[in-house]
Amino acid sequence: MLLITVFMAVLGGCGGRIGVVQKAAEEDVKDALFPTRIVSLLPSNTELLAALSATDRLVCVTSNDTYPPDVTRLPEVGDMTVNGEAVLACAPDLVLASPYQEEDVVPFLRRSGIPVLVVPEARNLTDIVTALVEVGRAIGADDRAQAVAAHLTTVLETFSLPDGMREGEPRIWLEIAPPPELYTAGGDTFLGEALRRAGGRGLADAETGWPLWSAEDVLAKDPNIILLLHHAYPDVRARAQEEQDRPRPVRKAPPDVVARLAERPGWAKISAIRHGSVYVLDEDIFSRPTPRLIEALPELAYVLAGMKADAAEDGR
């Protein structure tokens, strides 16, 4: 449920805008060109600092921050609700905030004289690169930002968006949360885009935002691959724990997880379940618009290509 809360709070408030880049006022960062005490108010902001090799400047984060692992030892200033006084106690010379925080903690911090950079919204994958460059500029890491941006842009060019439907394109059920709230990703989201770039297409690709589906809706569409973006099942959680030292963005779902999906009314007939084409996505990587998501495209594409080849061989 936390994952859904994060999605709705960070992205749901963006309305119908796609790829909107919200610039921070120059006066907010002019005195923090080379900040050494940064507070990040969102995990995706923290991951941008990680891509810039600048997490050593972090002094406080939120309780939702998990990557890099070292940040979990830093003082916390809240979760989805940030405590402004706690931020002040961190004595930051720059705070990285998000647009949805502009109505609460951001004005308080600015009134208190704290430089704040409102990081651009990342509604698509190219927006991630834009945000990275802007954060790099704000912290005086332009060279590193440009180098990482060039690498990420190469990945995006390699896995370019298709002009339309492709023959044999996998029909993907991307499940963000388990029943009773079967949320998935619409085509205008960064996850919907990631699926298309990787060679597939989500069942909700024609929809916008993060639509709520029913189990019957999924059954009627008969997906030939299922991607789980949650650790609702103990087996998945345990497997993720076991693989902490060698994490993979996309993992084959354990048999017990597939069996539990098959227990949903009618789902045993779904092609993905009948053929064992069920995978678990790394929750942190795929739930956040960050450089790690772009870097995970090759493995996601590999999985989808393998499934497509198997389906063609079986005549599916």
| pLDDT single digits (tens) 213-222 | 999 999 999 9
Residue 142 has pLDDT above 90, yes or no: yes
Q: According to the model, what pLDDT value does residue 161 have?
A: 92
- % of the chain residues with pLDDT over 90: 72
pLDDT in tens, 25-47: 444 554 445 899 999 999 999 99
Query: Do the domains 27-158 and 171-314 sit in the same CATH topology, yes or no?
Result: yes
Q: Is 3.40.50.1980 the CATH classification of the domain at 171-314?
A: yes
Sequence ranges of the domains in the chain? 27-158, 171-314
SS (H, E, C) the chain: CHHHHHHHHHCHHHCCCCCCCCCCCHHHHCCCCCCCCEEECCHHHHHHHHHCCCHHHEEEECCCCCCCHHHHHCCECECCCECHHHHHHCCCCEEEECHHHCCCHHHHHHHCCCCEEECCCCCCHHHHHHHHHHHHHHCCCHHHHHHHHHHHHHHHHHCCCCCCCCCCCCEEEEECCCCCCEECCCCCCHHHHHHHHCCCEECCCCCCCCCEECHHHHHHHCCCEEEECCCCCHHHHHHHHHCCCCCCCEEECCHHHHHHHHCCCCHHHCHHHHCCCEEEECHHHHHCCCHHHHHCHHHHHHHHHHHHHHHHHHCC
In CATH, the architecture of 27-158 is 3-Layer(aba) Sandwich (3.40)
